Amino acid sequence: MERSIEIGDYVGILEGTEKGFVTRIEKNKAWIETDDGFEITSLLTKLVKYPSKKKPKSINPDKPGPKKEVKDEFPESKKPVIKKVKDKDFRIHPALIGEGKKITSKKHEDKVWEVDLHIEEIIDHYKHLTNGEIVDIQLKHARSVIDKARIHKIGKVVFIHGKGKGTLRQELLNLLSGYTFLEFYDASFKEYGGGATEVRIFVSKV
């Protein structure tokens, strides 16, 4: 039994059939690359040195273990070319990824609806109506406008009612007093000459 085993020796294992080259030695243990290409370990005392065979190039006795060359499955010159896919229908707006100018729109609460409550602006035929019936139609129209303005998150509505005897204006103020989500006051005298009421609707941010 040979005890002076070194890296690169061709050895066999006692009580076994495996043979191969020693690729690494640590303390009393050796690593062997068998003829079949497998790596096994064995105690040095269990190894027998056989007549030398041609030592594989992968074994370097100056290093603690073999350095096996890893082949590149796709060498640079033979790497497969992956064709880039271009989809002209696929677009992302630059603003969504932090590029380009962001699209901004005027806030709903900054929009203004101007509504003329004169009866001729609401219905075509009114000559047969009494004053009370006309006021009822005007107030019904005002309620409808307020409801729609709130749904569409319109922050400002100006009702044009004119001066006249002030009946419509007073009835409109009574109507507006019943809402909790708005405030109202005389519209700009310069623009409407005292014949309009401005309504500010508290627009929900949700």
Are 134 and 184 contained in the same domain? yes
d(CA 161, CA 199): 13
pLDDT at residue 78, as a whole number: 52
The answer to whether 139 touches 147, Cβ cutoff 8 Å, is no
- pLDDT tens digits, residue range 148-182? 999 999 999 999 998 877 899 999 999 999 999 99
What pTM was computed for the model?
A: 0.47
| Beta pairing partners, 186 | 197
**pLDDT value of residue 203:** 76
Asked whether residue 29 is domain-assigned, the answer is yes
Residues 63 and 121 in one domain: no
CATH code at 12? Answer: 2.30.30.30
- Closest by CA to 153, choosing from 103, 202, 104, is 202
Q: Considering the domain boundaries, does residue 23 fall inside one?
A: yes
DSSP secondary structure letter of residue 31: E
Residues 44 and 113 in one domain: no
The answer to whether residues 60 and 125 belong to one domain is no
Counted domains in the chain: 2
Domain boundary among 67, 94, 122: 67
Domain residue limits at 59: 1-67
Q: What is the CATH number of the domain that holds 173?
A: 3.30.1370.110
Same domain for 124 and 191, yes or no, is yes
Whether 132 and 193 share a structural domain = yes
Distance CA 180, CA 186 (A): 18
Pairing of strands 156-160, 39-43: unpaired
